Amino acid sequence: MKKLLLTAVVLLSAGAAQAGETNVAVAANFTEPAKEIAKAFEAKTGHTAVLSFGATGQFYAQIKQDAPFAVFLAADDSTPAKAVEEGLAVGETRFTYAIGRLVLWSKDPAKVGGEETLKTAAFEKIAIANPAVAPYGLAAVQAMKKMGVYEALQPKLVQGNTIAQAYQFAETGNAEVGFVALSQVITRNEGSRWLVPDLLHDPIRQDAVLLKKGSNDEAAKAFLAFLKGPEAGAVIARYGYGTTASN
C-alpha cells in the first residue's frame, strides 16, 4: 500500500514538473472563446495559458518591442505573416484558427433592420474599432465604402481602440449602433442585428503563430496543437466563427 502511495506521489510530482505556463496575445474579438479554450486546455494538459487581450496592431508593435508573448492569435492573417517575414515568428507554425464575421448591432430591438439602417442613418453615433490596428474596424470601413455610405457616416463614427471597446460603446448606448464581431453578440437574444455579407469586405481570416520567444516553450506548442483540435474547434464554431474546413 505504501509503495502504491509513493508511486502516485512520484507520478503527480512528475506531472506538475512538466506542466508549464505560456503567455498568449489574443485579438479582442476572440476574448470569450479564448477563455473557454484556455480552461479546457489546462484541464486536459495541465499547462496554463495566460491570456492578454487587445488590438492586433497594438500587439504587433509590442511584439516588435520584445513583449513576453510566446503565442499570437491575431484578428487577421497579414500580421502573423509579417511577423514571420520579420523573423519574429516561426513560419511553419502559422495557421488559420477562425474566420470572423462582422455584424451591425444595436441593443435597441428596433434599430437595426438590414443594410437600410446604414443608408437611412437614423442614429447619432455608430461605433467601429480603429481600422488602423483592428481588422474588424478595417472590414467595417470596407463594407461602408462598398455600400457607398462611408462619406455620409464619417461624422457619426465613434472609434474604439479594439473591437471590445467598439462593442462597449454600443452596449452602453454611447453609440446607438456598432460594427462588432458576431462572437460578441451570438449568445444575446435581445437587441437587433444585421450580419454583414462577406462580399462587402475582405475575409477576416484570423491566424495563429508561434512567436520566436516560444520556440522552446512546450506549453506554447501544446496550446497551438490544442487550438487545432476538435475540442477548441467546437468552441470556435459555437461562437459563430467559420473555419478553414467549412470555407
Helix (H), strand (E), coil (C) string for 129-193: ECCCCCHHHHHHHHHHHHHCCHHHHHHHEEEECCHHHHHHHHHHCCCCEEEEEHHHHCCCCCCEE
pLDDT of 30 higher than 60: yes
- 31 assigned to some structural domain: yes
**Segment 228-234 long-range contacts (CB within 8 Å, at least 24 positions apart):** 228/95, 228/97, 231/37, 231/40, 231/44, 232/37, 232/40, 232/41, 232/97
Share of the chain above pLDDT 70, in %: 91
Average pLDDT over residues 83-96: 97
N- to C-terminal Cα distance for the chain? 56
- 244 assigned to some structural domain: no
Q: Give the whole-angstrom CA distance, residue 96 versus residue 207.
A: 4
User: What is the per-residue pLDDT across 54-83, written as a single tens digit (0 to 9) for each?
Assistant: 999 999 999 999 999 999 999 999 999 999
If asked whether residues 167 and 189 sit together in one domain, one would say yes
- 175 assigned to some structural domain: yes
pLDDT for 77: 96
If asked whether residues 172 and 127 sit together in one domain, one would say yes
If asked whether residues 212 and 167 sit together in one domain, one would say no
- 153 assigned to some structural domain: yes
- Cell 464554431 identifies what position? 237
If asked whether residues 180 and 154 sit together in one domain, one would say yes
What is the Cβ-side half-sphere exposure of residue 242, based on CA atoms within 13 angstroms?
13
User: What is the per-residue pLDDT across 144-173, written as a single tens digit (0 to 9) for each?
Assistant: 999 999 999 999 999 999 999 999 999 999
Q: Give the whole-angstrom CA distance, residue 84 versus residue 94.
A: 8
If asked whether residues 81 and 138 sit together in one domain, one would say no
Q: What's the structural domain count of the chain?
A: 2
Which CATH number belongs to the domain containing residue 94 in this structure?
Answer: 3.40.190.10
If asked whether residues 95 and 209 sit together in one domain, one would say yes
- 14 assigned to some structural domain: no
Mean pLDDT of the chain: 91
pLDDT of 6 higher than 70: no
Q: Which secondary structure element, helix H or strand E, spans residue 116, and what is its range?
A: helix 116-120
pLDDT for 11: 40
Share of the chain above pLDDT 90, in %: 88
pLDDT for 115: 95
| Residues 25/52, Cβ–Cβ less than 8 Å | yes
Q: Between these two residues, 18 and 55, which has the higher pLDDT value? A: 55
pLDDT for 157: 98
User: What is the per-residue pLDDT across 165-186, written as a single tens digit (0 to 9) for each?
Assistant: 999 999 999 999 999 999 999 9
Which domain does 42 fall in, by range? 20-99+204-238
If asked whether residues 68 and 148 sit together in one domain, one would say no
If asked whether residues 93 and 109 sit together in one domain, one would say no
pLDDT of 52 higher than 80: yes
**Segment 195-200 long-range contacts (CB within 8 Å, at least 24 positions apart):** 195/101, 195/102, 195/103, 196/101, 196/102, 196/103, 196/104, 196/139, 196/140, 196/143, 198/101, 200/142, 200/143, 200/146, 200/147
- 15 assigned to some structural domain: no
pLDDT for 14: 41
If asked whether residues 190 and 152 sit together in one domain, one would say yes
- 33 assigned to some structural domain: yes
Predicted TM-score of the model (pTM): 0.83
pLDDT for 113: 94
Confidence band of 243 (pLDDT split at 50, 70, 90): confident
User: What is the per-residue pLDDT across 100-133, written as a single tens digit (0 to 9) for each?
Assistant: 999 999 999 999 999 999 999 999 999 999 999 8
Instruction: Characterise 240 by phi-psi region: left (phi > 0), alpha (psi -120 to 50), beta (else).
Output: left
